[in-house]
Homo-oligomer: A and B are copies of this chain.
Amino acid sequence: MEAFTLSSDFGYVVLVVVATVFLLQWLGIQVVMARKKYEVSYPRMYSDNDDRFNCVQRAHQNTLEVYPTYLILQIFGGLYAPKLGALCGLIWLAGRVAYALGYYTGDPEKRNRGAFGYIGLLTLLVCTVMFGLSLLGFI
C-alpha cells in the first residue's frame, strides 16, 4: 500500500464523461420529441403499432443500458492511461451518436453504423485489465 497518485491528465477523462452526460440528454430529448410526433403518451414506453417511435426509444434505452459498463471502464481504464482513456471515451461517444442516427432512420439494421464505438470500449477494457494487473504487481 502506497500513496495513490492521480495524473492531472485525468481531468480529460472527467470532461469526456461530462460530454457523455450531454449525449444522454440529447438522446432523451429525441424521445420526448418523438412522443409528440408519434403520439405516444406517458407512462407508455413503446408504441404498439409504430416501430419508428420504438427505434427512437431504443436508441436512448440501449445507450442507458451500456452506460454503467462504459463508465466503470472509463474510470478504471482512465486511471491507467488518462489521455488514451479520454480519447477512447470520445470514440465511444461518437459511436453512440452514429448508432442513434442509424436507428433514427427507422431501419434497426442501420444502428450498426455505430459499431466503431466498440474500438473505444474494448480499448478501455484492455486498459482496465492492465490497471488491475499493475495494482497487483503483475506488470
Q: Which residues does A use to contact B, with CB under 8 Å?
A: 1-15, 17-18, 21, 24, 41-46, 51, 54-55, 57-58, 61, 64-65, 67-69, 71-73, 76, 103, 108, 111, 125, 128-129, 131-137
Known: A21-B73, A125-B21, A128-B17. A103 touches B43 (CB 8 A): yes
Complex Cα gap A136–B51 (Å):
45
Q: Are B8 and A135 in contact (CB under 8 A)?
A: yes
Tell which of B1, B68, B111 touches A71, judged by Cβ atoms closer than 8 Å.
Answer: B68
**A125 CB contacts on chain B under 8 angstroms:** 18, 21
Can you spell out 14 A-B residue pairs with CB atoms less than 8 angstroms apart? Answer: A8-B135, A9-B136, A11-B133, A11-B137, A12-B132, A13-B132, A14-B128, A15-B129, A15-B133, A17-B128, A18-B125, A21-B125, A42-B111, A43-B51
